[in-house]
Structure 1
Amino acid sequence: MSAGLRWGVLGAGGIARQFAEDLRSDGLGLQAVGSRTREGAERFSTQLGGIASVYGSYQALVEAPEVDVVYVATPHPLHAEHALLALRAGKHVLVEKPFALNAAQARAVVAEARARGLVVLEAMWTRFLPHMVRLRELVADGALGEVMTLVADHSQQLSADPTHRIQDPALGGGALLDLGVYPVSFAWDLFGAPLTIDSRSVPTATGVDRQTAVVLAYPGGAQAVLHTALDLAGRNDAVVLGTDARVEIAPTWYAPSTLRVVRPDGTVLEEFDGRGPGRGMQYQARELERLVREGHQESPVLPPGESIAVMETLDEVRRQIGLAYPGE
């Protein structure tokens, strides 16, 4: 185990297990798990081969003196509530994407973290993957010329069961917040704030979005063409087009992947392999640990203000397509 932070995992579902596996395989300090019930936390611990501290409530987890940072991995509508719970207990927080259910909740979380001098980071793990780091370097170095277009899709064939969380409005279901947040965040990373947002969508029988297309337009004529669907198995590749070259990111672009830099005449200038061990969720954990170790509160890769801005974009898309969640 590293001499870094001691991590507590809040939530005991599939994404929490994947994160915990990557955390442990990278030598980072998996210290505790908290679930709604003691049984759920103990089952999670057993699946991971044993975790030192097991708690049967979220409150007990965030108050645990042996926990330095909390990873929030509960359903979307609970992200803000549980991030605030951890922050008010004096813990740094890594909160699963989407950062919150809406921008108002996101602003409340960020304000609390800033007031308490704590780190809060959105677990948009894609931002921290090696191939995305390399893409930002290529753009910054001018290797692509003027970057004009992003085309990115995140489409999966998920459960059609109307009681499944992806189909449930009460759990923030639909393609947009679960899957579409990835390409929207990618567009923000590449281009920043859009001038205009145009969205089209098709609903499921339960009233969440089945598939959604978004076009973001930027100063100088740049565009991001984004698509997401919850019942279609897409290629899940992405391409960034510049005047001098393009970057092709192989499926699955939002997970550890490879990229190629290709000139307009087809000449391949570079091939980069960013694949590595595990699912790749350890890189975001390393970034949070770096921030704490070096005394920084906000990551330049994904500052909290940008997580709020991504949520504002998602709010506008939902307004355009008529997708509202109970209790908002």
Structure 2
Amino acid sequence: MPAQTLSPFVDAALDAAHLDDPRTATGRTLGWGVVSTADVAENVVPDIAALPDARLVAVSSRDQGRAEDFARRHGMLRAYGSTATATGLDRLAADPEVEIVYVATPHGYHHRDVSALLRAGKHVVCEKALAMTAAEVRDLLRLAREHGVFLMEAVWTRMTPGFRTAMRRVRDGRLGRVRSVEASIGMHRPLDPAHRLFRKADGGGVLLDMLVYPLTWTSAVLGAPEGWSARSELGPTDVDLDTALTLDYGHGRAHVSGTLSTTVPHQVTISGTDGWLRVDGRINCPTTLVLQSADGIRRGAAPVVEHVAVAGAGYGFEMREATRCVQQGLLESPVMPWADSLELAELFDRVRQRIGLVYPHDAR
């Protein structure tokens, strides 16, 4: 069977032997800082700590007490809260032992926080979405280039073993020529106007928070769409509670959706001329793949189920990639290049315009 052509970032991920075991050092030890004590930071920081060439130096928060509690529990050397003269972020940015920073604040603060860090000469791994708008993303890329520092959007799925395993099956031609992708993610969440997912200023809603995951799969196997249509429902706080995109690639199609209003299966199905591959459960960090061939369907054979082991919570793979890039003097990762972050932000801008979702940042 002929090999399937995949996006360049997939080839880079599959050729990255250092992603096979994130707990193998790739160079000198880096001093890490963390911005925010949010839940996602609680999950990610232990995977950073597990890297043999990482040293946890400092965490920042608006509240000194929260910063100190986080630092104590995660074995960090220093905790920076806001004072009368400086924010916790500014204090962390001034720490000479902090070389690279993981930013875990809500989307609406990314441009502000990452800008300050880049200007201070820090390398940055920023949670997705990299910024609220394409204009903000362009500005961050400009700053990273001007200051000669590494910047990466933390789309961790691209580096995970489940995603890489799935892409190997596709690249080997197991599905033939890929023709379609169907993907869904989300669950019902009761309305909470104070929660970041429902706050417009924080970049709440489905679009920025969820759709990057199904779109990671479509871009991997189908590339950039030639056209698209969108359907969305805005909620009482004026963020999108449901958004679905239908994407046309000429040679194929995709339908992706995210929701805060309905409990749906988290699932990706990639279908080709010779078979299909399904990811069940965690589409952002897959642990179970189901593969069926056209011949198997004809013979009445059961699909093949493949289980993929993941080290830690699965975030160590993206942190290994960021570490390697900094150690080698790269400004961007070939697995998560700047052009991909900008392309996604531009698509989201166009989708928001189509569905009538306006952020306060749009006026800047």
- Alignment pair present for 1:176 and 2:210: no
Distance 2:181 2:303 in 1: 19
Distance 2:334 2:304 in 1: 26
Q: Which residue of 1 aligns with 2:4?
A: none
Q: Which residue of 2 aligns with 1:133?
A: 164
Equivalent position amino acid for 1:240 in 2: I
Q: Which residue of 2 aligns with 1:199?
A: 230
8 Å CA contact retained: 2:213, 2:283: no
Q: 1:33 to 1:302 in 2, by over 3 A?
A: same
- Alignment pair present for 1:230 and 2:288: no
- Alignment pair present for 1:308 and 2:333: no
Distance 1:58 1:190 in 2: 39
Q: Which residue of 1 aligns with 2:70?
A: 44
- Alignment pair present for 1:243 and 2:273: yes
Q: 1:193 to 1:37 in 2, by over 3 A?
A: same
Ranges of 4+ aligned residues in structure 1 off by more than 3 Å: 25-28, 265-272
Distance 2:244 2:275 in 1: 25
Q: Kindly provide the CA deviation profile for residues 46-91 of structure 1, in whole angstroms up to 9, marking residues without a partner as x.
A: 332x311211210111221111101111111111221111111111
Equivalent position amino acid for 1:275 in 2: A
Q: Which residue of 2 aligns with 1:77?
A: 108
Q: Which residue of 1 aligns with 2:32?
A: 7
Q: How does 1:136-215 map to 2 (within 5 A)?
A: 136-215=167-246
Distance 1:229 1:17 in 2: 24
- Alignment pair present for 1:320 and 2:350: no
Q: Kindly provide the CA deviation profile for residues 149-197 of structure 1, in whole angstroms up to 9, marking residues without a partner as x.
A: 1111111223412222211112111111111222123322332211112
Q: Which residue of 1 aligns with 2:11?
A: none
8 Å CA contact retained: 2:247, 2:254: yes
Question: In terms of mean alpha carbon deviation, does 58-67 or 183-192 score higher?
Answer: 183-192
8 Å CA contact retained: 1:185, 1:310: no
Q: How does 1:17-36 map to 2 (within 5 A)?
A: 17-27=42-52, 28-36=54-62
8 Å CA contact retained: 2:160, 2:314: yes
Distance 1:189 1:300 in 2: 13
Offset of residue 30 of structure 1: 2.1
Question: In terms of mean alpha carbon deviation, does 182-191 or 241-250 score higher?
Answer: 182-191
Offset of residue 270 of structure 1: 5.4
Q: Kindly provide the CA deviation profile for residues 122-170 of structure 1, in whole angstroms up to 9, marking residues without a partner as x.
A: 1111111101112222333323211111111111223412222211112
SS at match of 1:160: coil
Distance 2:335 2:169 in 1: 15
8 Å CA contact retained: 2:214, 2:283: no
Q: 1:209 to 1:263 in 2, by over 3 A?
A: same
Distance 1:160 1:270 in 2: 40
**TM-score, length of structure 1 as denominator length:** 0.93
8 Å CA contact retained: 2:248, 2:254: yes
Offset of residue 269 of structure 1: 7.6
Q: Kindly provide the CA deviation profile for residues 110-131 of structure 1, in whole angstroms up to 9, marking residues without a partner as x.
A: 1211222221111111111101
The RMSD of aligned alpha carbons is 1.8
Equivalent position amino acid for 2:255 in 1: V
Q: Which residue of 1 aligns with 2:20?
A: none
Question: In terms of mean alpha carbon deviation, does 96-105 or 158-167 score higher?
Answer: 158-167
Offset of residue 268 of structure 1: 6.2
Distance 1:255 1:159 in 2: 25
Which of structures 1 and 2 has the larger relative contact order (alpha carbons within 8 angstroms, sep 6+)? 2
SS at match of 2:184: strand
**TM-score, length of structure 2 as denominator length:** 0.85
Equivalent position amino acid for 2:111 in 1: A
Distance 2:162 2:197 in 1: 29
Q: Which residue of 2 aligns with 1:293?
A: 327
SS at match of 1:233: coil
Distance 2:200 2:115 in 1: 23
Offset of residue 229 of structure 1: 0.3
Q: Kindly provide the CA deviation profile for residues 259-314 of structure 1, in whole angstroms up to 9, marking residues without a partner as x.
A: 12210233568543223233211110000111122233222221111011011111
Distance 1:121 1:213 in 2: 26
Distance 1:68 1:310 in 2: 27
- Alignment pair present for 1:16 and 2:16: no
Distance 1:137 1:110 in 2: 31
Distance 1:271 1:20 in 2: 31
Structure 2 counterpart of 1:259, from 265, 285, 289:
289
SS at match of 2:210: helix
